[in-house]
Amino acid sequence: MKIGVLALQGGFIEHEQALQKLGISFFEIRKLSDVQQPMDALILPGGESTVMGQLLHETKLFSPLKTMIDEGLPVWGTCAGMILLAKTIEDEQTRYFGRIPIAVKRNAFGRQLGSFHTTGVLTGIGEIPMTFIRAPFITESEKDVQILASIQGYGVAATYRNVLVTSFHPELTEDLQVLRYFLDLL
């Protein structure tokens, strides 16, 4: 098994460290030639989604990654990755990969000072630690989307076909259950 990790900006190193702990092979995606390597799945890390979107286009990575995701490559997006994968971003015309039919609200729990850590229940796993940093949440979802976790009444994790999204950062904790959950989906 080999996982591609988008490494243009954001918290990609923490995802790589989590993969290393499980002995999972990975490589960084920084330039167009990187997507020519075979991969079993893709991780879109947290960070700044607007910057990531710009960099995806500047590096010409957007189109090939979109095609791969649309054709069924399993993908997990955390925080900014969730925004990149969402069909709709509230109060914005911007749309990136648009693969999971959800609407998300950016910085829904507040700005940097509104960041927090809690525990919550994720369907299929149970109670897990959740770290939210300027996190989005799901405001709407189509019926085929499975909401896996909610906080304060809002969806913070979901799955749909080949996509897993979390608005929190499992990679910032020692708990590897969400990563294992994603790998089990493969």
Residue type, 173: T
**Number of Cα atoms under 13 Å in the Cβ half of residue 173:** 18
The most distant pair of C-alpha atoms in the chain lies apart, rounded to whole Å, by 42
Q: Which of 79, 92, 127, 142 is catalytic?
A: 79
Residue type, 18: A
Residue 52 · residue 83 · CB < 8 Å:
no
Q: H helices then E strands: how many in the chain?
A: 5, 12
Known catalytic residue at 57: no
Known catalytic residue at 79: yes
Tell me the chain's radius of gyration from C-alpha atoms.
Answer: 15
Known catalytic residue at 169: yes
Residue 61 · residue 32 · CB < 8 Å:
yes
Give dist(CA 170, CA 142) in Å, integer: 25
DSSP letter at 89 equals E
Catalytic residue ranges: 79, 169, 171
